[in-house]
Amino acid sequence: MSTVLTTHKDVSFDPETYVSTYYSSVTGHEEEGGMLQFFLDGLSDVFKSGAITGIRLLDIGTGPIPHTAFCAAPWFKEIILSDFSEKNLEFLQNWKDGKINHMGHIFEYLLQMDTSSSSLEKRQDELKMKIKHIIKCDVTQPNPIVSTPVDGVVFDAITSSLCLEAASTTLQDYAKSVRNLRGLLKCGGHLVLVGVLEQTFYRVGDFRFQCTYISKDQLQDIYQKEGFEIISLKYSNEKYSAHKEENEYSDCKNAFLMVAKKLEH
């Protein structure tokens, strides 16, 4: 099937197609060889210790899937979900209002990883209660969050999953997004980041969305130059898509999970 190469600012994102393509099981899309499970296991490990905690958490680029917030929720009092796509924001609001339930199998897996005695229903209800706002964001702007309820607020922690590389197409723009995001985080606050390496596109339906090609060295260099101390950085052992000459859904070569702390300048 032919696809159109585009960016998130040029076409409307389709959350239902994205969820059915990449989140129909805990292992994710078969072409990605277990990448989703690597992310889920890593996020669970990061948060279940309780080492990252605070009052306010911001999830940047939530998309239609609040799995990162699910992991972090026990350790924060207030959670803000955000995304550039109006359709994703509507999808999230419908989930919060109980109109759709597309994440049960993902949440169930995370609950098992957490070895929690809480029921799935209770954990979902607690998460929804802690989500105070679902708002539009644009990490390419100096102030990514312009919504009145949280304008000017700094957060104890920021999480982001597969957002920054998809929001830009050059390393210079990626670095600017990191700088913009840093401004939303208090000094000493934590950034928990999930991402992919050496990727130029990923596919949703008939569209291929452009991404920033970034290597391991470039990743570390950008965050250190932008005022972060990298606490931990784990890479998947898988070599995604490397065996395919023509990749249909994504051409990423590796995946990572980073925990970093904002330093004082």
Helices 171-182, 216-225: inter-axial angle, 10-degree rounding: 40
The span from the CA of 39 to the CA of 256, in Å, is: 8
Res 118 pLDDT > 70? yes
Q: What is the pLDDT of residue 243?
A: 47
Q: What is the DSSP letter of 54?
A: E
The span from the CA of 167 to the CA of 177, in Å, is: 8
The span from the CA of 102 to the CA of 92, in Å, is: 10
Secondary structure of residue 203 in the 3-state scheme: strand
Question: Which of 169, 191, 177, 198 lies closest to 257 in space, CA to CA?
Answer: 191
The span from the CA of 192 to the CA of 261, in Å, is: 9
Comparing 190 with 8, the larger pLDDT belongs to: 190
Mean of pLDDT values over 119-147: 93
- The pLDDT tens digits of the residues spanning 247-257 come to 788 888 999 99
Tell me the average pLDDT of the chain.
89
Res 238 pLDDT > 80? no
Question: Which of 220, 149, 161 lies closest to 195 in space, CA to CA?
Answer: 161
Res 152 pLDDT > 90? no
- Residue carrying structure tokens 């802690």: 130
Res 65 pLDDT > 60? yes
Res 32 pLDDT > 70? no
How many domains is the chain built from? Answer: 1
CATH number of the domain residue 59 falls in: 3.40.50.150
Spatial contact of 143 and 91, defined as CB atoms under 8 Å apart: no
**Which amino acid is it at 260?**
A
Percent of the chain at pLDDT exceeding 90: 67
The span from the CA of 92 to the CA of 15, in Å, is: 10
Q: What is the pLDDT of residue 1?
A: 45
Q: pTM for this structure? A: 0.92
- In terms of residue numbers, what domain contains 79? 4-262
